[in-house]
């Protein structure tokens, strides 16, 4: 049964990876993904990276499938009884770092865990979601993003979007900055509320909705003029992204703890990043508005959104 | 007694900060340090930053003095019985990120802790050291660096330099990369092997030897020609520096846990950093030699150094 579940997850994840890469290549209109198949003692994967494209400064779409005799601590917060279990973990992660500062950075991930305990029933669960990290905020983009996310969830229940939206706001938060990483989206983990088929169906609905959520925003912003000021602000904001991924991200930590391939795990880091001591945006500027308005937990589907 | 010890530590640290800034301004020959006095609920400090100098892309020399009711976990590994103690921590941290890729990045820190437990004797200890992170290695630089470090230790005992050199190699190590951060130097913590006067004397010897260790190297390399290739490699290597500071550094973690000022703590991050997926230096190049030869634990005072 574990093998059957894993095979069905894997089939979807590999197909999704292919479709995500195709859609990003069409968006870029020039760059092509390179493919690295890799193996490690704990498993293997396929890393696909597009670097130096026309629209995308760097994009990565990774599939990985690892296993081990002991589920790492980063994956067992909700499953302490499984800490000593043999496990398999597989999934797809995407990150997009565009050139144009008006095109938001974005991240998506769908993943599946299977843990086996001798003499007990099979444990499986899913995780995933996607989130948007603009340098310059646009209300219509945030609304479109969250509407698409909500629409992917709603067929499976009315409560899912609000819960997973909140979880995303809670998760992608930099406590040392007192600041969210971006404008949120969806985040879920330890998901096993229905049977396997329906749960996988939900994960597919989320995974398949990423491109309809992201592409219209990228297409709307990629032609906008920008100069050195916007570029410098983008490089500065990417510092927050690097801080989150290296200090807080459980996915990065899981990769490091489970013997993943380091270049694939850290592929999420931005291509170029700037840190400036005690930078403060000009009051009233678009740069100030990012943190003052857009990087605040907000109901993007309600009146105020 | 605690107050007297703290006052004597503080006097040295503030004087050292002043001298370090003066020496770096003379080295730069143009840039000036800006000064930020700050206070937080847990204490205060003085951050001094030189940005965009002629030689130094960014340099920071921070003094901080914080206190709290509970010594953070990052400071109590060697003192579990003090976890619930009221404490004071003070010290000076320095980081130098030069423009020229041939001039190594460097870091130094000297710090002092005092912890008080009702009805028990006063606990105090010191920590500190300095380390060098070149992008391009030069044997004569490494030898000079380590000779100066050894000379600062030897008056206090023959075993100190080898122990603290080893500790530095062990501490400034990126396990996820299987790579040291640089060519080492000195690192010590929980130091209380003599009385207070001698221990402070040792810390002064280390702190005062930083500039004699660093300046001749910087002066020798700052006029070397470089181009885009060396600059790009420097930005790439700075990625390792950011990874270490954000993922592994106990000093950064202590700052975040003890309510330090975030801009002062993260001042150590490089001004501009590049991440490139799966970069590999050309075999036989100076870039390959960095990791193959220089970033290997090595006895820089012995025959092979």
Residue A70 catalytic? Answer: no
Question: Which residue matches tokens 């973990």?
Answer: A89
Q: What is the DSSP string of B216-241?
A: HHHHHHTT----HHHHHHHHHHHHHH
CA B281 to chain A, closest CA, distance in angstroms equals: 15
Question: Which residue matches tokens 């920590």?
Answer: B127
CA A55 to chain B, closest CA, distance in angstroms equals: 17
Q: What is the DSSP string of B118-130?
A: TTSPPEEEEEEEE
Residue A86's pLDDT band (boundaries 50, 70, 90)? confident
For chain A, the residue count is 305
Are residues B202 and B181 in contact, defined by beta-carbon separation less than 8 angstroms? no
Q: Which residues of A touch B74 (CB under 8 A)?
A: none
Q: Residue B131 pairs with which residues in a beta bridge?
A: B107, B185
Nearest Cβ partner for A267 among B239, B272, B277: B277
Q: Which residues of A touch B42 (CB under 8 A)?
A: none
Are residues B302 and B142 in contact, defined by beta-carbon separation less than 8 angstroms? no
Q: What is the pLDDT of residues A236-283, one digit of tens each?
A: 999 999 999 998 888 887 777 777 789 999 999 999 999 999 999 999
d(CA B105, CA A182): 32
Are residues A20 and A206 in contact, defined by beta-carbon separation less than 8 angstroms? no
10-residue mean pLDDT profile of chain B (305 residues): values are: 89 98 98 95 94 98 92 72 84 98 98 87 93 98 98 97 97 94 97 94 98 98 98 98 91 76 93 97 98 95 69
Sorted by sequence, the CB contacts under 8 Å of residue B166 that are 6+ apart come out as none
Percent of all residues in chain A with a pLDDT value above 90, rounded to a whole number: 81
Question: Is residue A300 exposed (0-12), middle (13-18) or buried (19+ Cβ within 10 Å)?
Answer: buried
d(CA B69, CA B53): 40
d(CA A124, CA A116): 9
Are residues A51 and A79 in contact, defined by beta-carbon separation less than 8 angstroms? no
What pLDDT does residue B304 have? 57
Given a cut of 90, whether residue A88 has pLDDT beyond it is yes
Vertex A279 angle, CA B243 and A225, to 5°: 95
Question: Is residue A158 exposed (0-12), middle (13-18) or buried (19+ Cβ within 10 Å)?
Answer: exposed
d(CA A56, CA A106): 11
């Amino acid at each position: 049964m574990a093998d059957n579940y894993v095979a069905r997850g894997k089939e979807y994840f590999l197909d999704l990876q292919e479709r995500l890469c195709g859609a990003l290549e069409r968006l870029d209109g020039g760059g092509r993904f390179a493919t690295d198949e890799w193996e490690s003692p704990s498993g293997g994967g396929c890393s696909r990276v597009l670097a130096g494209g026309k629209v995308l400064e760097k994009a990565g779409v990774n599939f990985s499938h690892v296993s081990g005799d002991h589920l790492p601590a980063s994956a067992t917060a909700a499953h302490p009884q499984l800490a000593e279990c043999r496990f398999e973990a597989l999934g797809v992660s995407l990150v997009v770092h565009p050139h144009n500062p008006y095109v938001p950075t974005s991240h998506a991930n769908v993943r599946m865990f299977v843990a086996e305990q001798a003499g007990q029933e099979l444990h499986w669960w899913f995780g995933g979601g996607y989130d948007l990290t603009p340098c310059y905020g646009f209300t219509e983009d945030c609304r479109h993003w969250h509407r698409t996310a909500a629409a992917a969830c709603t067929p499976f229940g009315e409560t899912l979007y609000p819960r997973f939206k909140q979880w995303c706001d809670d998760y992608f938060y930099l406590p040392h900055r007192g600041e969210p990483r971006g404008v949120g989206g969806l985040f879920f983990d330890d998901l096993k509320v229905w049977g396997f088929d329906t749960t996988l169906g939900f994960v597919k609905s989320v995974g398949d909705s990423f491109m309809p959520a992201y592409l219209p925003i990228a297409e709307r912003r990629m032609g906008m003029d920008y100069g050195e000021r916007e570029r410098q602000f983008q490089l500065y904001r990417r510092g927050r992204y690097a801080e989150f991924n290296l200090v807080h991200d459980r996915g990065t930590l899981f990769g490091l703890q489970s013997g993943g391939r380091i270049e694939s795990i850290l592929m999420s880091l931005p291509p170029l990043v700037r840190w400036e001591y005690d930078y403060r945006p000009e009051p009233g500027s678009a740069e100030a508005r990012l943190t003052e308005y857009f990087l605040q937990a907000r109901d993007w589907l309600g009146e105020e959104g």
